[in-house]
Structures are given as structure tokens and as C-alpha cells.
Amino acid sequence: MEEKQDFVWPDYTTESNLYSVSCGLAEFFGVKRQCIGKSFEITGRRLVLIYLDALSWDLFVESGVKVSGSVTRATTVFPSTTAAALSTLMTAQSPGEHGLVGYTVFNKRLGGVINGIKYSYMAESGSGTIDYMPLQRAFPVKPWLAESSAKVLALMSSGAASGELTRTYLNTRPQEGLTKIKSHSNSFEMVASLREALEGEPYDLIYVYYDNPDHIGHGYGFRSQHRDLILEELRLTLTHLDELAQKYKDRYTFLLLSDHGQVTVNNVYVFNNDEELLKVLEVPPYGDSRAVWFRTRENIRDMLKSKYKLEVMSKQEVIESGILGRVDGFVADNILGDYLGVATDPASKYHYSYRDDDPALRLRGNHSGMTPEEMYIPLVVWQ
């Protein structure tokens, strides 16, 4: 793939990438990882890690909040999507190492395409339908928290608190009772819970996860008439978080970041209607709405470029480019497709439906591509 002028490529060797932050987190809690470049340095004894889902750099700047911490424009991983970014953050592994390279992921060992967040096959309803042990053997995921005895409090939305990613990255611990999870329903309750925790008995890690920006963006789009509402909520949330960081930074180091931004789409390509493409694929297209993997023994590069206006890379080109960071051999053989297509049009997304009433078709905000809106995130440290 040519380095398009309007594409932002992740550099896993720099300190201003989500991957380097994850390596710094592992080091902070005494877990060793052989990371690609220099880890992001985190000092102090205790940490408050604030993860605001879909808080892009452009939204952060437009909010106008002047936080007192040190602010860096960082890049997320590729693909710029929660399954890949959160997995990297919680494992100190690049997407090419942990293998969760999209919302939907093919895994040869599991024999199909699964939901990378719900841990179920795409044709199934519900979540957690794949037994944990086969799932664990099918992905080389190594959560750093599982190798630590840190006392953790996780403040999360109710949906995230009960999710499979939470079970994998927070609840798989060397002994019971090390992680306590408290759910919230809105940003004010989240701030109240954080205030209470900061004033109480100390934790080694307070993990704050808030996903409302992502929900609003998916439902209405960041470039819609509702952008003012998103910004208003962000201003209040960031202001409260900054005040708490200033007040308690002698007890805790505070670190705030995001996983990706979003673009607003108005053009949807549905692969279900393309018999020419589907008949040469081994499994349906998978990955994410703006970064799609294709498994086939035929050369479909020209077809993907002409029909879908995708920037196309072969598997070998993907590995050599470093776009996924270091690539594990198991991931290369069992998870990656033969071709990767990345959206060139910020207003387009790509989808394969497993059901007629697929709600994903109605999402206005999408991500996983390489535009500045999707790839740039804020990184704020109070220490």
C-alpha cells in the first residue's frame, strides 16, 4: 500500500503510540514484555488509568478544555478499533501479536468468524458462547494484569462491566478478589465513583472506562447536528477529571487516553450482494467497517480496488509494512487474511451481514481506518 498523504500510519517504536503506553503500563506493574521500541515512562506508586472510548484528538482539541497535565497528540494502533486497541492496551502486545485485528475475526482454530468483543460466532446471538479455554488457546493473548498481584478497582459502564473483554483482561487474575468492578450509567456517576475511590483506601490501579462518546458517535455521527452535545458532555467530563487529577496527583499518577476516533459515513458497501467476490472467498469478509480482510487463493487486488475503492495490501505486504507491529507466526497463519483492504473515502464503510435486520448497517459513526480523525488520540499525564 502506498503511504497516502491523508493516511496516518502507526509507529510502534515511538513513545506517542498506544502500544508504547501499554508497554509502559506493563513495566509499571512489574510485568516484563519484549516491546518493539521504547516504552512510555510512567512514574509514581499508584495509577488512575482513564480510557475514554472514541475521544479523538480533534474532539479533545475542539472541547477547549485546558487540562493541567502534559498533553501529547498520539496515534492508536491499526486497525483503529476497540477490539484491537483495548487488547493492545491490556496486553502490551501489538495487534499482530494478540490477533484481535477487528470487530469480526476469522480464526482457523475456531473454524469460523467470531465477534472480537462478544466472543461468539457471528451467526449466533448473545455473547460468550465460545468456551473460554478453546478461545484462550485460539488467540495468543497475554494480559499483563494476569501476571500482577495489583489491587484493582474498575469503574465501567454496565455494558462494559459484564462484557467478555472485561472478563479476559480484568478478571483473569492470579487470585480471587484482586479486581473489584463498579458500574455506572452516566458520566456524573462515573466522576462520583472516582471521587469516592480516591478518598478511600488506596488501590494500585483505578481503571476508569467511559464509552458514551463512542455510543453517541455510532448512533448519530460526530459530524452531525449533535456534535455540540458530544462536546458539551466532554467539556464537563474532562473538567471534572482534571480537577480530580490536580487534587490527588500526590497519591496517584493520572493517565488519560483513548482508543480511536470516528468518521461519519453516508455510503455503505454490502458484500452480501457481490456473488463474484463471495464465490472466490474461503470465508465471508471480516475485520472491521473500514479495514477488511479477505481469505482467498485468487488474486483479487484489482477487483477490490476497482469495485470498492480500497487501498489493498497482500498478507506479506501487511507483515512487512509494520502496520500491525510485530506479527506472531500463529496470527499470520491462522487469523490474517490473504488481502487487507483499507477505506480511502472517509464517508464509506464496508459490511457483510449475518442477519437481515443487522443493526450495524445503521451506524453513522465508524472507525478502524487510517484517517487522522480515526488514528489520532490524546494522551494526557498528570504525574
Helix (H) or strand (E) holding 381: strand 376-382
Amino acid of residue 196: E
Per-residue pLDDT, 223: 81
Question: How many Cα atoms within 13 Å fall on the side-chain side of residue 306?
Answer: 5
Per-residue pLDDT, 167: 81
Kindly state the cell numbers that stand for 77: 494502533
Kindly state the cell numbers that stand for 374: 480515526
Taking the alpha carbons of 360, 361, 366, 369 in that order, is the dihedral positive or negative? positive
In the chain, where the domains are located: 1-10+42-383
Using alpha carbons, list the distances in angstroms from residue 127 to 77, 143, 296. 25, 20, 28
Phi and psi at residue 51, to the nearest 5°? -120, 105
Q: How far apart are CA 28 and CA 130, in angstroms?
A: 32
Per-residue pLDDT, 128: 79
Average confidence score pLDDT of the chain: 93
Per-residue pLDDT, 364: 93
Helix (H) or strand (E) holding 114: strand 112-115
197: DSSP letter: H
The residue assigned the cell 502507526 is: 10
The residue assigned the cell 462536546 is: 231
Q: How far apart are CA 30 and CA 10, in angstroms?
A: 26
pLDDT in tens, 108-154: 999 999 998 888 999 887 777 888 777 878 999 999 998 999 999 99
Q: What is the DSSP string of 228-290?
A: HHHHHHHHHHHHHHHHHHHHHTTT-EEEEE-S---EE--EEEEGGG-HHHHTT-SS--EEETT
Amino acid of residue 335: I
Per-residue pLDDT, 358: 86
The residue assigned the cell 496470527 is: 331
All residue ranges of the chain with pLDDT < 50 are: none
CATH T-level assignment (fold) for domain 1-10+42-383:
Alkaline Phosphatase, subunit A (3.40.720)
| Cβ atoms of residues 278 and 284 within 8 Å | yes
Residue in 99, 111, 144 with CA at minimum distance from that of residue 329: 99
Per-residue pLDDT, 4: 61
pLDDT in tens, 259-273: 999 999 999 999 999
Q: What is the DSSP string of 116-163?
A: TTTTEETTS-SS--S-HHHHHHHS----GGGG----EEEEEEHHHHTS
